[in-house]
């Protein structure tokens, strides 16, 4: 019988297997579930597209359809104004661990340089 001698750690809410030599086992793309921040970004993009296309007339209409609070919809749509490198870091799951969805979606600066300063990228 084989015995596992590595260690399982968490990073950004995901389990990673650490091998005995300290290396992290490679994660296969099909084994990776999206993080909550990635899902929020996707929702924000979808809802913005609905507003821009006229499929929905307002944030309130989207919130009613989804059965959620309109302030949540607004915060997720705010994610669509993030700097491209911050969006890339979200998609690559490479944001610093201390950054939360709240940090990105609430009162985010309009200027990309100020956003980068906030997340320290």
pTM reported for the whole predicted model: 0.72
Instruction: Please indicate whether residue 115 or residue 17 has the higher confidence score (pLDDT).
Output: 115
What is the rounded average pLDDT for all residues in the chain?
Answer: 85
Instruction: Please indicate whether residue 92 or residue 15 has the higher confidence score (pLDDT).
Output: 92
Region 66-94: mean pLDDT is 95
23: pLDDT confidence band, cut at 50, 70 and 90? confident
Helix or strand holding residue 14 (H, E): strand 14-18
Instruction: Please indicate whether residue 21 or residue 10 has the higher confidence score (pLDDT).
Output: 21
Angle at 32 between CA 38 and CA 50, to 5 degrees: 30
For residue 121, the model assigns a pLDDT of 67
Quick one: which of 60, 41, 58, 42 has its CA closest to 50?
Answer: 58
Does 30 score more than 70 pLDDT? no
For residue 25, the model assigns a pLDDT of 66
Question: Of the ranges 6-10, 16-20, 30-34, 71-75, which is most confident?
Answer: 71-75
């Amino acid at each position: 019988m084989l015995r596992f001698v590595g260690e399982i750690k968490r990073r950004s809410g995901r389990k990673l297997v650490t091998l005995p030599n300290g290396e992290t086992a490679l994660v296969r793309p099909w084994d990776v579930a999206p993080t909550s921040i990635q899902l929020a970004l996707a929702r924000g993009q979808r809802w913005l597209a609905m507003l821009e296309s006229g499929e929905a007339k307002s944030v309130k209409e989207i919130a009613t359809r989804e059965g959620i609070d309109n302030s949540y919809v607004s915060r997720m749509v705010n994610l669509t104004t993030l700097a491209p490198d911050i969006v890339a870091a979200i998609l690559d799951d490479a944001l610093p661990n201390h950054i939360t969805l709240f940090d990105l979606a609430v009162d985010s600066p309009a200027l990309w340089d100020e956003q980068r300063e906030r997340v320290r990228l």
